[in-house]
Structure 1
């Protein structure tokens, strides 16, 4: 039983990573047997992993009961980031109200680790560093950790995971378009000053910067974008603005 759980978890983590990084591009059909053969997992483990990913919104089913990577679009991204801004903003307000010294210390520590972690992978300067992705997640989690609503935090966590697919697409496009470290620093300063209005406004601006990069991408060259992100950007454009 433990072996089965372990295989299912490994299949889930691998598939989730492929979805987030667009190695499985939005809209791509997912063949269970091909995935099982490629990853060396059992059919059952892959099915269970896909069922979990479906419940989380990363995978969808079609009329033939097959699986596809959930499509993305400009409209979906704007809606998602807008809702995330609202929910995460509420979490941040409550965290600022309830958080103590330990909470503040954890934020400073998470921000320091994030600032010292390279954004891009050492072996591929166009690919997001996995350690940075972990540090980034930990930083945003630290900001809202003192929120006293379990349900708000659960919704925030789910929305964060969904928005990661879009954020990954900005990695090769955002190198000269934004200073993320400065954005994080300003956010930390507002939080530690207990200025909830400014902190929430900065958070919203920080999240919407991702949307603007993808909306504006057609105005510049994407020649340097790696193949996985290219597939994701094509899928994003195919979704249109409706």
Structure 2
């Protein structure tokens, strides 16, 4: 005979509302396309066009746009609607200075507190980065996405032992914005092979300094590495 069960015993979590699921899907699609440049800087984001593009309703798309507006990836122009946030030399320099300030703090803390597993994860992430290699053609979207994932993984491994959750959250947002500029560098490089050689050399030196627990050198290499994008793209933006 089945024993009687109280309401507390049979209580199950409420299923996630479909509207929330659709909003999350809209957010992920829009965020990825903005960061990748599939939706160009300054482009007007018309709700009906996005509805057709993603096959989602107007409400979840509007909610996603509001969320991305709060993150600075989308501009909310009030009555004129939404648009992709523009890129500029001034914004790029401000962004890169902010990111170097945050990440050097995180790297110094990670080097101080990282254990052997932290070091092993850096080595593994660097290996994955060398296997992904830098895309020779920016239109090869599969190669670009694989390299970007490996590149993010390497930088995440470097900082993984840092203890500040708040700085990590801030850095994640800075990385998203930085990727928009880095993809432009891939598209407009004068020598893909030279860029690949330079980038891989920079990452190798950064890894070696971190594993050697040389925080001063590692932070200087990281600062130089992050600012290289700003130096290369500086001439492209008039301001």
| TM-score band w.r.t. shorter chain | 0.7 to 0.9
Runs (4+) of structure 1 exceeding 6 A deviation are none
Q: Which of 142, 151, 155 lines up with 2:157 in the alignment?
A: 142
Q: Tell me what 1:129 maps to.
A: 144
Distance 1:19 1:160 in 2: 13
Cα drift, residue 201 of structure 1: 0.6
Normalising to structure 2: TM-score of the pair?
0.85
Q: Which has the larger radius of gyration?
A: 2
Q: 1:183 to 1:123 in 2, by over 3 A?
A: closer
Q: Give structure 2 stretches of 5+ with no counterpart.
A: 1-15
Question: Counterpart of 1:5 in 2: which secondary structure?
Answer: helix
Q: Which of 189, 192, 209 lines up with 2:211 in the alignment?
A: 192
Q: Is the 8 A contact 1:89 1:203 kept in 2?
A: yes
Query: Aligned ranges for residues 1-242 of structure 1 at < 5 Å?
Result: 1-64=16-79, 66-120=81-135, 124-125=139-140, 129-174=144-189, 175-178=192-195, 179-217=198-236, 237=237, 240-241=238-239
Normalising to structure 1: TM-score of the pair?
0.84
Higher relative contact order (CA 8 A, sep 6+): 1
Q: Tell me what 2:8 maps to.
A: none
Q: Is the 8 A contact 1:114 1:136 kept in 2?
A: yes
Q: 1:118 to 1:149 in 2, by over 3 A?
A: same
Is the deviation greater in 6-15 or in 132-141? 6-15
Cα drift, residue 20 of structure 1: 1.4
Q: 1:87 to 1:185 in 2, by over 3 A?
A: same
CA deviation profile, 1:77-104 (whole Å, cap 9, x unmatched):
0110011001100000000011111111
Cα drift, residue 39 of structure 1: 1.6
CA deviation profile, 1:17-45 (whole Å, cap 9, x unmatched):
22112221111111112101222111111
Q: Is the 8 A contact 2:138 2:144 kept in 1?
A: no
Distance 2:179 2:161 in 1: 23
Count of residues paired in the alignment:
220
Question: Counterpart of 1:129 in 2: which secondary structure?
Answer: helix
Distance 1:177 1:71 in 2: 29
CA deviation profile, 1:171-221 (whole Å, cap 9, x unmatched):
12332453211111000000000011110110011111111221245xxxx
Q: Tell me what 2:13 maps to.
A: none
